[in-house]
Amino acid sequence: MKRFLPIFALLAIMPLLMSMGKNSGLQIIWLSEGDVTDGPKMVRQDVEPGPDGALHYFRISPMVTQRNIRAMKPMPADDGTWGAVFLIDEEGWKSVQATAAVDSGKLLRVMFAGRPIEFQRITRPLTDDHLICIWRGITESEIASLQKKYKEFSSPGKPPKR
């Protein structure tokens, strides 16, 4: 019986291990800029230079994720790709406001489906009620996937009825 114990243990945790790799493909995260002095457990250096040509460090823990999104509205971008405005929940909005208050002048790194999309600079406290944006870099097929997952809102600040 003792020699079968490892097999039973593996079978017991197999569903958990299989579910760990699943991803909807719609992972959307906003990472706030950190500092090298924050340490390797808190920040990672970006692989692309920022708008100033320097490599920046971004916090590992995202400021906002796709779990905070309640609705979206796509928009065409100047470069032929798509952007989108996202209506986020209260938890995400509080995180955005706190980051904007503390990290004015710093960068945000937007990641979509595992790839870096764009940098955004925090220039002022945010007043756009629960709205956050990706200006460009989303493909047409990704917009179609987003539209399947999230309802589209028609006017800023008014979430769709669920």
Q: Give pLDDT tens digits for 38-95.
A: 999 999 999 889 999 999 999 999 999 999 999 999 999 999 999 999 999 999 999 9
Closest CA to 63 of 99, 38, 23, 27: 99
**Cβ distance 106 to 63 under 8 Å?**
no
Does residue 110 carry a pLDDT above 70?
yes
Q: Which residues on neighbouring strands pair with residue 74, listed in sequence order?
A: 84
**In the prediction, which pLDDT does 62 show?**
93
Does residue 162 carry a pLDDT above 90?
no
Q: Give me the helices (H) in the chain, please.
A: 5-20, 90-102, 140-149
**Cβ distance 121 to 52 under 8 Å?**
no
**What CA–CA distance (Å, rounded) separates 146 from 92?**
18
**In the prediction, which pLDDT does 17 show?**
40
**Cβ distance 70 to 87 under 8 Å?**
yes
The full set of domain ranges for the chain reads 24-152
- CATH classification for the domain delimited by 24-152, as one of 3.90.1570.10, 3.30.1360.200, 2.40.40.20, 3.40.640.10: 3.30.1360.200
pTM listed for this prediction: 0.76
Token pair recorded at residue 20: 């760990």
The rounded percent of the chain whose pLDDT value lies above 70 is 79
